[in-house]
């Protein structure tokens, strides 16, 4: 398969959705009678020998509408910023993407007692996300207006190792359901 962007992918006949071999665009494809020679800017070359051509077709699929991932961290962040009490009763948003000198923390909030809470949001919570939040907490604790800052790690799913590390670092873990945040009923019929 040669896509419009120049990507070339070779698939098996049966059952495989992943290509056996591929070259990402940009490529140059030289079409000869018995073979195709695909080269990329790095000088890598793939030669495809054609023994028997069963079908050769070209399909114009129109303008690429672009794909958009659904349920990414940004969606979770917007939904949780609108309703921080889902994370913790009494939580009030101060600011989204609160800057630190090593990057922005997703949500900066105040709890019911007026203490500062840094919230890091992931789709899948793993050890790296806990480490990221721990680094943000260190930086935020340097600001006298915010100290002491506690952390809450929020994800749709948090792996057990991340929960253990978070607990050891004094970080609370909260798992959230994206569909519930969107107001989709649990038993609603869906394709996926």
Report pLDDT for 134: 97
8 A C-beta contact, residue 127 and residue 91: no
Q: Where are the domains of the chain?
A: 1-67, 73-182
End-to-end CA distance of the chain: 27
- Give start and end residues of each alpha helix (H) in 17-169: 73-82, 127-140, 160-168
Whether this prediction's pTM lies above 0.85 is answered by: no
List, for residues 26-59, the tens digit of each pLDDT value: 888 888 989 989 998 988 898 989 888 888 888 8
Report pLDDT for 156: 93
- Residue 27: is it exposed, middle or buried by C-beta count within 10 angstroms (0-12/13-18/19+)? buried
50 backbone dihedrals φ, ψ, rounded to 5°: -100, 110
Which residue numbers in the chain have pLDDT < 50? none
For tokens 């480490």, name the residue: 131
The CATH number of domain 73-182 is 3.40.50.720: no
The tokens for 127 are 């050890």
Report pLDDT for 180: 85
Report pLDDT for 95: 96
Report pLDDT for 15: 65
21 backbone dihedrals φ, ψ, rounded to 5°: -150, 150
Could you tell me which residues come within 8 angstroms of residue 88 by beta carbon, excluding any fewer than 6 positions away? 111, 117, 152, 172, 174
111 backbone dihedrals φ, ψ, rounded to 5°: -90, 180
């Amino acid at each position: 398969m040669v896509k419009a962007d120049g990507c070339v992918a070779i698939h098996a006949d049966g059952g495989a959705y992943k290509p056996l071999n591929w070259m990402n665009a940009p490529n140059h494809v030289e079409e000869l009678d018995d073979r195709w020679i695909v080269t990329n800017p790095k000088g890598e070359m793939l030669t495809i020998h054609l023994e028997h051509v069963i079908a050769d077709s070209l399909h114009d699929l129109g303008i690429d509408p672009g794909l958009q991932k659904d349920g990414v961290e940004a969606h979770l962040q917007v939904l949780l910023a609108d309703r921080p009490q889902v994370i913790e009763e009494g939580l009030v948003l101060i600011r989204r993407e609160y800057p630190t000198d090593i990057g922005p923390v997703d949500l900066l909030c105040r709890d019911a007692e007026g203490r500062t809470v840094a919230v890091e949001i992931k789709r899948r919570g793993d050890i790296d996300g806990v480490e990221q939040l721990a680094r943000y907490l260190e930086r935020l604790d340097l600001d006298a207006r915010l100290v002491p800052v506690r952390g809450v790690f929020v994800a749709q799913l948090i792996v057990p190792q991340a929960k253990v590390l978070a607990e050891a670092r004094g970080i609370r873990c909260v798992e959230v359901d994206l569909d519930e945040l969107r107001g989709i009923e649990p038993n609603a019929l869906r394709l996926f």
